[in-house]
């Protein structure tokens, strides 16, 4: 594309030189025009000739070639170069938008595992995931991506499932639980018995969906190509008739005169304004969208938006911020500052997003000398000794197991109940925050005749339904993996009208 841009710039400079500077020699001027034409137009002429040999005669390349050569034939050298320049500039702008979009989706393939640590003959071997057999044991260390689906047979850990579900909250797994390929192991070492070969694994199926997504889309021809298919042969036939018929039926009519008129007709008939205006108008729309942070992959997508009936949203990072933050602190018999401090100290050694969000909300330096003991209670929370106080931080199960009377919080999100010396002292609510402009975006879509707004999420049912209700969405589907989201989108595609379009809105991690 860069090379094409340089050619256009050189051709424009030569065109302006020939147009504005009088060399007092028409031959020199015409030679400059020809050189400019060769630089910018030879590619189109080659395409036209190649397509003719393949039986595809009447396309926009043929139209440009016939019109410009016709212009040269009647001595209108500037017009010949200008027509080709206009066309190439429009094509350059469209190519620029498409090329930019390709780069933006290249990172979609980052869930592919690079290797698998297989336990064979008492030793760990690093092999390609394709070479791992069913029921073999693989070892996944902290920070590594799980390469194949299976069950945990030893160890426990937290998994980052964002690549599959789009949700920021890690999933706790222990012995006997199923794990899916594509997730990242955050802390403990786990051993997994493989239940699916790589070709049948979750990550392989997701990659297949991404790789084949474009093959399911119809490659609609642009308007100029459709127009040229009918317009070009009509113009050429009329020009041929204009050159041949009058001399045969009109007395004293000269063939050379009517040939000149036929060539003039070809030049006049070349839809220069249409050829340049359509690509430029689309590029103007794409450029305007990019100024407010929207990248449109091509003009066909921009055109499709006009017929959109259904808009499907992902939740995390799209309608919500995608970052867990402390939303509420409810203290009983102590101050909110004291409650936040005691939980921050208890979570000091945690790299879990929940713990990190509490420490961020506390925002002060932690005196680790006051942290006497910290014990992680799997599936429950944390038991710690901060200074002289025994502290419990965790979920409802922890409070019930330790027989601590507490007031249940019905807010949507992750709730950390806190007890000091066996006495309930309050809770901290941590949740993903709805974006400030999400509500107005949904309202504006409905004002612009969008018939249905839908949200798909891998999050829990109560969380998803709460967000959907707050935003005024028409439908919500929860607890979905990527393949489940694809199936829901395919179902929604069947519900729209024949001419209507469906748009999906989500961030690149989905």
What are φ and ψ of residue 100, in 5° steps?
-65, -35
Separation CA 488–CA 25 (nearest Å): 70
314 is catalytic: yes
Residue with tokens 């709805």: 434
CB 59 within 8 A of CB 51: yes
User: Which residue in 160, 314, 432, 459 is the catalytic one?
Assistant: 314
Terminal CA-CA length for the chain: 30
Helical spans, DSSP H, in 336-376: 336-346, 353-362
Which burial class, exposed, middle or buried, applies to 439 when counting CB atoms under 10 A from its CB (0-12, 13-18, 19+)? middle
CB 482 within 8 A of CB 504: no
Q: Which helix (H) or strand (E) holds 124?
A: strand 123-127
In 3D, which of 442, 402, 453 has the Cα closest to residue 424?
A: 402
Nearest 5 degrees, angle CA 185-CA 186-CA 191? 40
Residue with tokens 């200074």: 387
Q: Which residues contact 389 (CB under 8 A, 6 or more apart)?
A: 342, 420, 421
Rounded to 10 degrees, the C-alpha dihedral 183/187/188/190 comes to: 10
User: What are the Cα distances from residue 112, in Å, to 53, 178, 198?
Assistant: 43, 19, 11
Task: Decide the pairing of beta strands 389-394 and 414-420.
Answer: antiparallel
CB 304 within 8 A of CB 496: no
List, by residue number, the catalytic residues: 314
């Amino acid at each position: 594309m860069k090379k094409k841009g340089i050619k256009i710039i050189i051709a424009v400079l030569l065109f302006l030189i020939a147009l504005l500077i009088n060399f007092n020699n028409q031959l020199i001027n015409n030679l400059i025009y020809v050189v400019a034409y060769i630089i910018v137009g030879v590619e189109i002429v080659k395409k036209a000739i190649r397509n003719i040999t393949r039986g595809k005669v009447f396309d926009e390349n043929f139209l440009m070639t016939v019109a410009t050569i016709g212009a040269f034939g009647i001595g209108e050298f500037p017009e010949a170069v200008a027509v080709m320049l206009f066309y190439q500039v429009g094509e350059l702008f469209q190519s620029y938008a498409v090329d930019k979009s390709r780069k933006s989706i290249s990172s979609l393939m980052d869930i592919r595992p690079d290797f698998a640590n297989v336990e064979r003959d008492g030793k760990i071997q690093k092999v390609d995931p394709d070479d791992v057999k069913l029921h073999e044991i693989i070892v996944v260390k902290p920070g590594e991506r799980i390469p194949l689906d299976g069950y945990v047979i030893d160890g426990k850990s937290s998994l980052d499932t964002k690549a599959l579900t789009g949700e920021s909250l890690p999933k706790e797994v222990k012995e006997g639980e199923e794990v899916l390929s594509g997730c990242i192991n955050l802390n403990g070492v786990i051993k997994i018995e493989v239940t699916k070969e790589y070709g049948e694994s979750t990550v392989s199926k997701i990659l297949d969906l991404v790789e084949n997504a474009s093959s399911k889309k119809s490659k609609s021809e642009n308007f100029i190509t459709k127009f040229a298919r009918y317009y070009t042969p009509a113009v050429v036939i009329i020009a041929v008739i204009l050159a041949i018929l009058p001399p045969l039926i009109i007395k004293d009519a000269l063939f050379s005169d009517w040939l000149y008129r036929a060539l003039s007709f070809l030049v006049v008939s070349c839809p220069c304004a249409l050829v340049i205006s359509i690509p430029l108008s689309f590029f103007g729309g794409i450029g305007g969208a990019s100024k407010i942070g929207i990248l449109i992959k091509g003009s066909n997508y921009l055109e499709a938006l006009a017929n959109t009936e259904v808009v499907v949203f992902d939740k995390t990072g799209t309608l919500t911020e995608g970052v867990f933050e402390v939303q509420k602190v409810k203290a009983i018999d102590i101050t909110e500052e004291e409650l936040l401090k005691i939980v921050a100290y208890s979570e000091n050694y945690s790299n879990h997003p929940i713990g990190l969000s509490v420490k961020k909300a506390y925002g002060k330096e932690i005196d680790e000398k006051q942290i006497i003991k910290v014990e992680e209670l799997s599936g429950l929370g944390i038991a710690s000794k901060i200074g002289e106080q025994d502290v419990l931080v965790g979920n409802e199960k922890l409070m019930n197991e330790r027989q601590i009377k507490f007031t249940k919080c019905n807010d949507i999100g992750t709730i950390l109940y806190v007890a000091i010396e066996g006495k309930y002292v309050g809770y901290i609510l941590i949740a993903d925050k709805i974006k400030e402009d999400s509500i107005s975006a949904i309202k504006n879509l409905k004002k612009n005749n969008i018939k249905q707004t839908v949200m798909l999420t891998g999050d829990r049912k109560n969380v998803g339904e709460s967000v959907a209700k707050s935003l005024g969405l028409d439908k919500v589907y929860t607890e979905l993996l990527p393949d489940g989201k694809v199936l829901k989108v395919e179902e929604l595609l069947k519900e729209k009208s024949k001419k209507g379009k469906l748009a999906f809105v989500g961030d690149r991690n989905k």
